[in-house]
């Protein structure tokens, strides 16, 4: 079976008097790629902190190669455990190579400077992480995906046995997600032990060998993706019904949320909300809007997108795009027609790359036509921009020209209800033509 690299025994962590983790026990062997999943507040980041010596457990023990990490010197642990946090503010003008060289610090003596061997290890780590070409670039000026690769290279420069990552794909466009997760998968095949926090369950199912599902600070389930990602587990922990299927191309599991009750048929059904979303950012909102009786449309999303899968099961009209392709003129035209029929447009917290940049054009058109636009999300605009600045300028312009900015799903629902009441008072009963004939059918087929 091989030596156990990382073992957690009966760990309990607290912040003050609040208990965050309770009776956590598991072990990870060399070369395992393990995903840590669970709702917000379930203790995922706290668990990483306890393993990396940032937060000492009140009860229990963290063993690295059979030794308690809290009895080891910090430098000794840093030689074996690399950490890639979700956010790493770098206030100074360091180059990417200088950032990666910081990973060599545990291997240097007091006041010792880096030698040629340290530079070689740093450059090798950057080559593995596909960021060697960024060596002379200022870290603060890099894109989100480039920064993430540099931080992974910094961790690899430590020559660790264990790599801990807190949401390695957070706020990244789909191409960066694929690139980073393929890199991690390859590293695990070279006997690097990886424990990573995931919010996207479909990505976790595709790339991880096993999963640990946390719920309110306790392990709800542990095992292979097939053992953990069951409809029963997801309903119990996330309080949502899902279908669990096999992807026809990757053969990995993927989850599709669906509506468990018929939409209400009260006065909301004369109000249409159009969602500009992607990457699963629109699915919870689709679900909530339909349960409250609103009519919902979506666009434009790839046929491989999680939000597209949700539209097929929620019976929502959607403008589709071919995988990994920008919107064609025809698809964009249909999207604009759909936007023009909406009473409100919601732009979710979706990353904007060249492939979905035209979606911002559709939102701009809505605002110019006087259709209320709601922009949702806590992610700063600059972290959502993967177009070199064009998306950032448009997002800022949308905000300046009157888009309503909110931070949560509940706020979206509150604003939409206010708009609906105002709309009904002004125009009376809706005279819009129903979209029932289009429900559940990709609108790119409608000419």
H/E element, 2: none
What's residue 427's pLDDT?
Answer: 54
Q: CA–CA separation, 258 vs 289, rounded Å?
A: 12
Does the global pTM surpass 0.75? no
Tell me whether residue 21 is exposed, middle or buried, using C-beta atoms within 10 angstroms of its C-beta: 0 to 12, 13 to 18, 19 or more.
buried
Residue 447: both structure tokens together:
């000419």
pLDDT of residue 381: 86
Candidates 214, 152, 141, 142; CA nearest to 181 is: 152
Q: Which two tokens stand for residue 332?
A: 């964009």
Q: Which residue has tokens 């509940």?
A: 410
CATH class of residue range 6-231: alpha beta
What stretches of 51-179 adopt beta strand conformation (E)?
59-64, 67-68, 81-84, 162-166
Please answer whether residues 335 and 327 qualify as being in contact, where contact means their C-beta atoms are separated by less than 8 angstroms.
yes
Cis peptide before 54 (omega within 30 of 0): no
Say if 6-231 and 258-445 have the same CATH topology. yes
Q: What does the pLDDT profile of the chain (447 residues) look like in tens digits?
A: 345 589 999 999 998 888 999 999 999 999 999 999 998 889 999 999 999 999 999 999 999 988 999 999 989 999 999 999 877 777 788 999 999 999 999 998 887 888 999 999 999 999 998 899 999 999 988 887 888 889 999 999 999 999 999 988 876 777 778 888 999 999 998 889 999 999 889 899 999 999 999 999 999 999 999 999 999 999 899 887 777 888 777 788 888 765 444 444 444 557 999 999 988 889 889 988 988 889 999 988 888 788 888 887 788 888 887 776 777 787 888 899 889 999 999 999 888 888 888 999 999 999 999 999 999 887 788 888 888 899 999 999 999 999 999 988 888 999 999 998 887 666 554 444 333 333 333 433 322
Whole-number Å distance between alpha carbons of 231 and 229: 7
Tokens at 218, concatenated: 């306790």
426: left (phi over 0), alpha (psi -120 to 50) or beta: alpha
Distance CA 99, CA 114 (A): 13
pLDDT at position 268 = 52
The residues spanned by each domain of the chain are: 6-231, 258-445
For the segment(s) 258-445, the CATH number from 2.70.160.11, 3.90.650.10, 3.40.50.280, 3.40.190.10 is: 3.40.50.280
Element (H, E) at 366: helix 357-368
Please work out, in degrees rounded to the nearest 5, the angle formed at the alpha carbon of residue 43 by the alpha carbons of 40 and 54: 130
pLDDT tens for each residue of 273-299 = 999 998 888 988 998 898 888 999 998
Q: For 220-258, what is each residue's pLDDT tens digit?
A: 999 999 999 999 999 899 887 777 888 777 788 888 765
User: How far from each other are the two terminal CA atoms of the chain, in whole angstroms?
Assistant: 60
Q: pLDDT at position 346, please? A: 96
pLDDT at position 120:
95
Q: Are strands 67-68 and 59-64 parallel, antiparallel or unpaired?
A: antiparallel
Q: H/E element holding 318?
A: strand 318-321
Q: H helices within 315-389, ranges in order?
A: 329-340, 357-368, 381-384
Which of 8, 4, 1 has the alpha carbon at shortest distance from 161?
4
**Region of residue 320 (left: phi > 0; alpha: psi -120 to 50; beta: else):** beta
How many other C-beta atoms lie within 10 A of the C-beta of residue 100? 32
> Long-range contacts: 121-125, Cβ < 8 Å, 24+?
121/157, 121/159, 122/97, 122/153, 122/157, 123/97, 125/100, 125/153, 125/154, 125/156, 125/157
Say if residues 33 and 203 touch (Cβ distance below 8 Å): no
């Amino acid at each position: 079976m091989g030596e156990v690299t990382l073992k957690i025994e009966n760990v309990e962590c607290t912040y003050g008097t609040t208990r965050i983790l309770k009776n956590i026990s598991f072990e990870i062997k060399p070369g395992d790629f393990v995903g840590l999943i669970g709702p917000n507040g379930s203790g995922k980041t706290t668990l990483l902190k306890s393993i990396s010596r940032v937060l000492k457990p009140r009860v229990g023990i963290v063993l690295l190669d059979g030794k308690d990490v809290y009895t080891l010197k910090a430098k000794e642990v840093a030689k074996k455990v690399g950490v890639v946090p979700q956010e790493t503010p770098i206030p100074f003008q360091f180059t990417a190579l200088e950032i990666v060289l910081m990973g060599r610090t545990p291997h240097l003596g007091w006041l010792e400077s880096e030698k040629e061997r340290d530079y070689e290890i740093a450059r090798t780590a950057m080559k593995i992480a596909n960021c060697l070409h960024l060596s002379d670039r200022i870290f603060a000026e890099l894109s989100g995906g480039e920064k993430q690769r540099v931080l992974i290279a910094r961790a690899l420069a430590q020559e660790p046995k264990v790599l801990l990552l807190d949401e390695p794909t957070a706020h990244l466009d789909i191409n960066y997600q694929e690139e980073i997760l393929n890199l991690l998968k390859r590293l695990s095949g070279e006997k690097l032990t990886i424990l990573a926090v995931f919010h996207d369950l479909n990505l976790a199912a595709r790339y991880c060998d096993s999963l640990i599902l946390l719920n309110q600070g306790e392990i709800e389930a542990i095992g292979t993706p097939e053992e953990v990602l069951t409809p029963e587990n997801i309903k119990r922990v996330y309080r949502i019904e899902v279908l669990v299927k096999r992807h026809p191309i990757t053969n990995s599991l993927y989850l599709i949320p669906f509506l468990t009750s018929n939409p209400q048929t009260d006065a909301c059904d004369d109000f249409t909300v159009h969602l500009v979303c992607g990457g699963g950012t629109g699915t919870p909102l689709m679900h909530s809007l339909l349960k409250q009786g609103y009519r919902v449309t979506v666009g434009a999303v790839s046929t491989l997108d999680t939000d597209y899968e949700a539209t097929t099961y929620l019976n929502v009209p959607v403008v589709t795009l071919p995988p990994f392709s920008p919107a064609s003129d025809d698809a964009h035209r249909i999207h604009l027609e759909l936007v023009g029929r909406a009473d409100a447009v919601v732009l979710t917290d979706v990353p904007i790359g060249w492939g979905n940049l035209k979606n911002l054009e559709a939102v701009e058109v809505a605002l110019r036509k006087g259709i209320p636009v709601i922009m949702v999300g806590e992610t700063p605009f600059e972290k959502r921009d993967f177009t070199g600045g064009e998306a950032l300028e448009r997002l800022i312009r949308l905000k300046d020209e009157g888009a309503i900015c909110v931070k949560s799903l509940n706020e979206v629902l509150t604003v939409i209800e206010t708009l609906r009441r105002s709309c009904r008072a002004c125009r009376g009963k809706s005279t819009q033509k129903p979209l029932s004939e289009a429900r559940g059918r990709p609108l790119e087929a409608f000419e």
